[in-house]
């Protein structure tokens, strides 16, 4: 998305092939002297893709384990939350950069607020990564506490 004065908000896309999903980001790095880039995003465990829970509908006598399906669905939701939070933080950074550029001629009250929002979103993202990794290690109480801290960073924003 192109903002006024050439500032761009990174575009995020999610691709699903029926078995896995991936997310992509576009970043316009012309301000840094580099060419724009479109790249695949990494999930908190550094994987490039996330498996989607698949049900076995061909064999009605042997249904999938509902507990396993719920765990996979929870992981999928956590992963999508991470992708959207990452996009939210990227959008805030773009608006902060625009505000910094515009404040070169005159002080803008919004610039420090954009910076604070960006910092809070970054902390929320780090806590969300921690919560996801703790859940993968079956440390549920610690994961929930980390997720709550992530939420508090977003509320503070």
* Segments making up each domain of the chain, as ranges: 4-156
**Around Cβ 132, how many Cβ atoms within 10 Å?**
21
| Residue 13 backbone phi and psi in degrees, to 5 | -135, 150
Q: 96-126 pLDDT, tens per residue?
A: 888 888 888 778 888 888 889 999 999 999 9
| Beta-sheet strands, E only, within 45-145 | 50-51
Listed in sequence order, the residues at least 6 apart from 63 whose beta carbon sits closer than 8 Å to its beta carbon are 56
Q: 138-148 pLDDT, tens per residue?
A: 898 999 999 99
DSSP for residue 135: H
Q: Give the pLDDT of the chain (157 residues) as one tens digit per residue.
A: 444 444 455 667 888 887 888 888 776 555 556 666 777 888 877 888 888 765 544 443 335 678 777 777 777 788 788 888 888 888 888 888 888 888 887 788 888 888 899 999 999 999 998 988 898 888 989 999 999 999 999 998 6
């Amino acid at each position: 998305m192109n903002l006024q004065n050439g500032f761009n908000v990174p575009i995020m896309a999610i691709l699903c092939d029926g078995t896995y999903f991936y997310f992509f980001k576009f970043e316009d790095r012309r301000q840094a002297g580099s060419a724009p880039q479109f790249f695949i995003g990494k999930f908190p465990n550094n994987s490039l893709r996330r498996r989607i829970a698949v049900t076995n509908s061909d064999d009605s006598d042997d249904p999938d384990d509902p507990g396993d399906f719920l765990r996979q669905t929870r992981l999928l939701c956590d992963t999508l939350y991470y992708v959207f939070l990452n996009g939210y933080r990227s959008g805030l950074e773009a608006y902060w950069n625009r505000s910094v550029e515009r404040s070169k001629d005159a002080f803008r009250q919004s610039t420090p607020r954009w910076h604070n929002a960006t910092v809070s979103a970054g902390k929320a993202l780090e806590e969300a990564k921690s919560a996801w990794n703790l859940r993968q290690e079956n440390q549920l109480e610690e994961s929930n506490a980390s997720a709550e801290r992530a939420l508090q960073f977003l509320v503070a924003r």
